[in-house]
Structure formats: structure tokens, C-alpha cells
Amino acid sequence: MSGNLTEYGKKVAKLIAGASLWWMSSAGYGVMNLRRLKKLQALVHLYRQDPDLLRGKQLSLLRDNVKIIGDPISLLQCNTSVEKTAKKEEESPETAESEESDLEIEDDGVIEPDLNDSQEMGDEYLEKTNEMIDQANEKR
């Protein structure tokens, strides 16, 4: 199967390179299209690393063109790669938390929490007056 993927990647690269050469041959667009070619080359590189990228909605134009040249992989299968990616994203915070729990943290300079439950609090329904605000500002 990996041999098929390599051939498939080559077909996609040829398709993109052909389109890029056509764009570059247009008069007055050489510099702009060279940038496009670089972006397309980066896209092909990413695709070769993970062919499932073509299943995304953003790459529907590229996916449709790949279907025209012959697709050795069924792009119409259920989006298992998308589901796997979503599951990996859900699992990644859990793995980060488990890694943190193994770390030893120094307590030097850390203020201990106040465990006294009966702390005196102000009246939450008290309306503040201008005098109270002035007194608070003076204490600062």
C-alpha cells in the first residue's frame, strides 16, 4: 500500500506542477506564481506525510482533481482519519496532565492556603458611598 501512496503522491505532484507551470507561463504573473508554486510544493510535501489531508473540506478542489487522475485510495470512505484526529485532540490534554503529575515541584516561597473557614467578610448588599470610596483611596 505504501508503494501505491508514493505513486499517488507523484501523480498529485505532477498535477500540481503542471498547473503551476501553466500559471507561470501567463504574462506578467511570474513572480506571483512562483510564490504559489512554493505554496503548492509545501502542500504536496504535507500531503505526502499524511495523505488523509485530502479528506478535508478545504482541499475539495484538489481532491476532485486527484479523482480525475485516478485515486488508488478510496477518498469516499468514512472520515475515519478526521475522527481519529478528533479523538487524539481530546486525549492530548489528558496525557499532558498525567505528565505534569509526575513532576516534582519545589514549594520554596509558596504561600500556604488559609484553612480558616470562619473569615469575616463584608456585607455584599452594602451600597458604596463616595465617602467610603474616598476612604479606601486614602488607605492605598
Per residue in 117-138, pLDDT tens? 777 777 888 888 999 999 989 9
Q: Which of 31, 5, 33, 3 is nearest to 18 (CA)?
A: 33
Residue 107 lies in a domain: no
The Cα–Cα gap between 66 and 84 comes to 23
| DSSP assignments along 89-116, one per residue | HHHHHHHHHHHHHTS----TTPPPPP--
Q: Per the structure, how many domains does the chain have?
A: 1
Residue 131 lies in a domain: no
Q: Over the stretch 18-53, which tens digit does the pLDDT of each residue have?
A: 665 555 555 455 555 677 777 777 777 777 787 777
- The pTM of the full predicted model, rounded to 2 decimals, is 0.27
Residue 85 lies in a domain: yes
- Reduced to 3 states (helix: H, G, I; strand: E, B; else coil), residue 42 is helix
End-to-end CA distance of the chain: 72
Residue 39 lies in a domain: yes
Residue 52 lies in a domain: yes
